[in-house]
Structure formats: C-alpha cells, structure tokens
Amino acid sequence: MKILVVGSGGREHAMVWKLAQSPRKLALYCAPGNAGIESLATCVPIKADDITALKTFVMSEKIDLTVVGPEAPLALGIVDEFRQSKLKIFGPTKGAARIEASKVFSKEIMSRANILTAKAQSFDRVAPALAYLDQHEVPVVVKADGLAQGKGVVVAATREEAKQAVRDSMEQAVFGQAGQRVLIEQFLDGEELTVMAFTDGLTVVPMLPAQDHKRVGDGDTGPNTGGMGAYCPAPIGSTALCTQVTRQILYPAVEALSRMGCPFQGVLYAGLMIVNGMPYVLEFNARMGDPETQVVLPLLKTDLLEVMEAVVEHRLDQLTVDWHDETAVCVVMTSEGYPGAYQTGRAIHGLPTTTEGTTMVFHAGTTRTGTEVVTAGGRVLGITGRGKTLEVAQAEAYRVTQSIVFEGAHYRTDIAHRAFSHHA
C-alpha cells in the first residue's frame, strides 16, 4: 500500500514515523518532507499547498491514501479536490476546515452548539475596533481572523498594546489578508489543555490530553510561537474532564458542522482553557497539533493506518483505539530570533541518526546540503523523550537536546513544568 503524507514539519515526521511502524507493508512518501523524514519515506519536492501538483503525483504514482498534516492545504480545499477525483484522503473538506481557518466561523459553530468559549466581537474596520477597546477591560485578547501560523494572537496587558495589535493586523497587514478582520476577545485566566480527536463525522475518539507551550521563553514569557514543546498526558486532563470535553465540546462541534452541511472527517483539535475546572474553547484546529503530535503519537498503541482508514471509511465506531501507559515530553529547538526573523542554513551537529528507543528526534525545519543537515526554518527539531513518568520522559528529552548543537539554537528549559506544579 502506498501512502503520501503532505507537509514538512515535526508533526509530519511523527506521523510518518508512526505509520512506518504499521505491521502492514507500506511504501511511504512525503511532500515535501525534510532531512529527518527522508530516512523513513521517499521525499517528493512538491510544496504542501500545491494541490494540483500533489494530485498529479498521487494519480501517476497510484498512491492509495493521502494524509494531510498542515492546515493550509485543507483551507485551500485539497480534500474536496481529491474526492472529486475519487482519491482517498484523510482530512476535512474546505468547508469543515473553516472551523480553524476562520475564527469568526468557529465562534458561530460554538454559539450554535452551545460550547463554552470566551466572549468575542469581530471587526473589519479599525475605528470601531479601537472604540470598542476603549470600553473593554484589560487584559484583552486580539486575534487575526484567518490563518497566521499560531502567531496571530496577542494577549494585551494594556489598552494601548491591544490597539497596537489591531493597527498592526488591519493597517500594517502583518498577517496579510488573514488579519483584515480581527476578533477582540475576553481574556480567560486558567490552564491550557489540548484534546485532539479522530472523527469520521459520526464517532469521536479522543486522544490522550496534551499541553503545548506557546510562549518562546522559560516561565511562559515572550511572544507566542507555533509551539515550543509539549507533554502528554497532561495531569490537568483527568478522565472526567476529557469525558466532559468529548461530550460537551467535540461531539457538539462535529454535529453542528454536519448540520451546517460540512461534515468533519479527520482530526479535530480543541485548544482549551480550563477555568475553575470548566473547559472553555480558545480555538479549534482542523488537523493534528504541532508539537502535540510529537508527544501523542508515540503513546498510541493502535496502528495509525488502521485508525485513519476507519475515519476515511466511516467505521470508527467499530475500532478500539489503545494507548501505552507511558508519558512523553517534547522539547522544540528553534533558530535564533524565532518567532521573529531568523537565519537558516546553519549546520546541525550531534544529530542521532535513529528515532528508536526512548527518544525520538523529529525534524521540523531541516534540509540536507551535501552530507550536512542544516537548519531551514524557525522550529528546527522536536526531541521527544518517553518514559514511565513525566520526570523520566523530560530527562530523556533534555539529555538528547543538550547533545545537539547548531549556532543560535534556542530551546525552553522548563517543558512540562506545569505538570510538576500539579504534583506539588
């Protein structure tokens, strides 16, 4: 069986790595992939959002299943395009992916489905947005409506900061078209949690709860990034809370999407804030999280291909999805300057060659030049450690992280810190 994974980040490396463990005989391809993925799959130099070229490749290579990693091709309608040509693909349609691609649409779904979320107001002109801020208490959250690689959210401590965020987004267009409409949202004070779920549009199978670290610096300081690390399972995601999230958030969202004529198939990601024990939705994503995937998939016992096929064939209700009774911690190494401007092309030394045993080095922004692996993005590597306890998994992840060197490398030294404060 031939499988193509679309994307080039740490998430896609983890997906390819997990698919490669399938007991079935698979030929794996990845477009465009990276220097780590190429040890497990044939990398094809087609960009993740070049739907026409991807479709031509899938037809000529007779690929049996395409799995979409990132949001951009989903928002562009890769699934609709492939289905029209009767090609099997894992992921939601363009209509369903709006739950991530438009924060305004996402709020509409939540309001129809009675899902708890922060109060928000949307604006497509600057003056009313600034006037609204004059009346709003602080802190307050300003969000670009569209896709901004996890960087379109500013949690503003002062009104002036919030106004600047509105101007940057709408006048300076720092997020391009994605920021021409903004949401001004009530600040929620609590602890964050990610619950992702496989769904075929009818059945929802939640994965283990994880926690991402969005701020660039130790102690959750500095600007938001795509994600600096993650751990799983997050102790705050108790069995009772995850059941509540499944019943009160995931099922209602999936059902509301179906009722609106855009049934969701693939992975639905709920980004939550737990406030006084109650889960509020901060955002939905229409795909697996990065770096959450790098800690969740290593704990999945069931063959990922079996799960994906059950989703595509609408028979998820007939599958039991099992998990290892273990923990995982992922530390992301980034380029100096990220999430701002950064340089690439820096040689990476000390890279372990395998992703076996208790640590896995998932590549994100890497490429090969000759015999050297060099940096090629903001997030460069995600090092996952596995172990019976989070302490062990964390020690494993940092042991390997410390042995990898490139100029300007940055990583947080406190990934999983919140889990330990729960034990205290």
Binding site for ligand GLY (CB under 6 A): 150, 212, 227, 285, 289-290, 292
Residue 141 interacting with ligand AMP (CB under 6 A): yes
Query: Strand ranges (DSSP E) for 172-265?
Result: 182-186, 191-199, 204-206, 211-212, 215-217, 221-224, 229-232
Nearer to ligand GLY, 93 or 211 (CB): 211
H or E element: which one contains 266?
A: strand 266-275
**DSSP label of 19:** H
Nearer to ligand AMP, 141 or 295 (CB): 141
Among 224, 244, 258, 302, which residue interacts with ligand AMP (rule: CB under 6 A)? Answer: 224
Residue 185 interacting with ligand AMP (CB under 6 A): yes
Nearer to ligand GLY, 290 or 309 (CB): 290
> Restricting to residues 60-119, which ones interact with ligand AMP according to CB under 6 A?
118
Q: How far is the CB of 125 from ligand AMP (least distance, A)?
A: 22
Q: Report the interhelical angle of 103-112 vs 94-101 (nearest 10°).
A: 100
Among 14, 46, 153, 295, which residue interacts with ligand AMP (rule: CB under 6 A)? Answer: 153
Nearer to ligand AMP, 277 or 350 (CB): 277
Report the SS3 class of residue 221.
strand
Give the interface segment with ligand AMP, choosing from 85-93, 181-189, 242-250, 291-299 (CB under 6 A): 181-189
Q: How many Cβ atoms are within 10 Å of 311's Cβ, its own excluded?
A: 22
H or E element: which one contains 330?
A: strand 327-334
Contact predicate 143/129, CB 8 Å: no
Half-sphere exposure of 236 (CA within 13 A, CB side): 25
Give the DSSP per-residue string, 139-158: SEEEEESS--TT--EEEESS
Nearer to ligand GLY, 148 or 260 (CB): 148
Residue position matching structure tokens 């996952």? 384
Give the interface segment with ligand AMP, choosing from 57-65, 76-84, 180-188, 203-211 (CB under 6 A): 180-188
Q: Going residue by residue from 253 to 292, which x/- string records binding to ligand AMP, judged by CB under 6 A?
A: ------------------x----------xx---------
Positions touching ligand AMP (CB under 6 A) are: 118, 141, 143, 150, 153, 155, 185-188, 192, 214, 224, 271, 282-283
